[in-house]
Structure formats: structure tokens, C-alpha cells
Amino acid sequence: MFVCTLLTSPSRPSLDPALVESLRNAWGGGDAQWLAVDEAVAFSLNVMPDNQWEVWADVQKLGVDLVITPLAGRRKAMLLADMDSTMIQQECIDELADVAGVGDRVKGITARAMNGELNFEAALRERVGLLKDLSESVISEVLATRITYMPGGAVLLATMKRDGAYAALVSGGFTAFTSAVAGHLGFDENRANTFIVEDGVLTGDVGMPILGQQAKVDALEEITTRLGLEASQVLAVGDGANDLGMLGRAGMGVALHAKPSVAAQCDVRVNFGDLTALLYLQGYAKSEFASA
């Protein structure tokens, strides 16, 4: 058995009941369960439709996300999340680079690395090298003035943790940011890279080992083993090429507002919903959400 979930943007909920009924009838689906009025609905399927991706492309033009997942094990016991452009709306290193006056150079490298066009470790070293001699105090300034949280993140964490899930933030960014973001949102742990700082300034070097794609997979394996969980019980979310390993390994890997080259390699894609979409995909109705 499978479940088909249809989602729209929470800020502009416009899910047409006629579209839902048309799909349900065409695919022989079960009764529609509205998870949020005009925003999210789900119905069961006995078989995976052979035209899933053709229909997906059509409804994308309407501002609708369509996701089909196994019905069994729908709710997950662990959340494994990327940080930059996933739990927050920015790339932290790009924001630091703006302050340092090298924003355009660093942003170009970041975009290519997240698209998978550059080696992640080499790209990280190059970007951090451009921040040499930047005052460590700029990190606090950027956190306070430039970082904003992705809508729905606090509700996602509050709801999953209320129901006993474990939450880990695993980033190719830096602990100077992940520790603050994890603390604010309620993650149980965070892993990321470290800046090397001497006399209050960044040296332009990165602490070793560098946390990239494989390290995120390793985190999934290590944490699930420690907690006695299976990879199938993990919901992972990210947007960049260095997230593909964990997205493929997790029971549900969600490409959230991902780069096209990344989304193309994932079966679960959310382009219009916010982070509460991850709750709808687990079968939560909006009335079941915890207060952030």
C-alpha cells in the first residue's frame, strides 16, 4: 500500500478539491483525508501509478507538490536535517563573506558546490580561505542580523519531539552556527565543521576532518545504531548535493526547495510547501501540530 500526499504553499493555500478527486478516481485511490483545508490532502493507493512523474510535472505548474510514499512506517522516529537553506533561509558562509567584502566570489562557489559541480571539500577550503583575518565577532553579528529560520521548522521539531522522535542537525557548515540554530529549534545534537580561530580572527583554515556528504551518511548510521533504530525510521531533509547520501539512505529523504540537479535524484520533492510539509508527509493533520 502507498499513500499519495498533495501539498501547496501554506501562505497561499490553493489545493483544488476537483484536482484531488480527479487524481483519486484516475488512480483508484481511497477516500481523501484533508490534513489542512485547501493546503494538504492524502489518499491511499494499492499500486504505484506508472505515470507518477508525468502527473507530478503537470501539478507542479499549478503550484502543487505530489508525493507518493509507502503507507507502512509513515511516521518516523528520527529527523536528520541539513541547516543552510533547509532549517534556515541562508547559507551562513555566504553571509559571512558579504560582511568580509567577498560575497560574490563565495556565493558563486557555494552555488556550484551545492549543485554538485565542485568537490565539496575543496570548495569549502577555498571559501573559508577567502575569510582569512575576519573577526570572530562577525559570526555573532551575522547570527543576530542576517539569519532567519525556514517557516515551519519550529513546529516540525516540536511535533516530532512531542511524539518521541530524536532530532539531529548535520551540516557541511560550521558549529558556530549549528549550535545556535540547534539550540533555538530544539535539536538533540548537531554536527558540523569548525573554523580555526587565533587571536580572535579566522585563520582561513578548517578543522579536520571536514564534514561532507559521507559524514552525513555516517551520522545517520552512528545515531540510529546508538538509538537502536533502523534507517527506515529516519526522515532526512536537505537541499544540496552533499545531502544526497543521507537522503538516499533514510527511510524518507526529502529534497526541500532543492537545486534542480539534486531534486532530480530524489523521489520525495517539496518545492512549494514549508517544513510543515514533512509533518503532512507523515500523516499529521494540521490540528495535530504542536505549538512551537
CA distance 90 to 81: 15
> Counting Cβ atoms within 10 Å, is residue 61 exposed (0-12), middle (13-18) or buried (19+)?
exposed
The helix (run of H) or strand (run of E) holding residue 225 is helix 213-227
CA distance 90 to 108: 14
Q: Are strands 2-7 and 252-256 parallel, antiparallel or unpaired?
A: unpaired
CB 154 within 8 A of CB 276: no
3 state SS of 164: coil
Q: List the grid coordinates of 164.
A: 518521541
82 is catalytic: yes
Q: Which of 65, 82, 94, 243 is the catalytic position?
A: 82
CB 159 within 8 A of CB 279: yes
CA distance 250 to 233: 7
Within a 10 A sphere around the Cβ of 240, how many other Cβ atoms?
25
Q: Which of 84, 94, 243, 274 is the catalytic position?
A: 84
For cell 521548522, the residue is 153
CA distance 132 to 95: 15
Q: List the grid coordinates of 106.
A: 563565495
133 is catalytic: no
C-alpha distance from residue 213 to each of 5, 22, 76, 243 (Å): 28, 40, 22, 6
> What positions carry a catalytic annotation?
82, 84
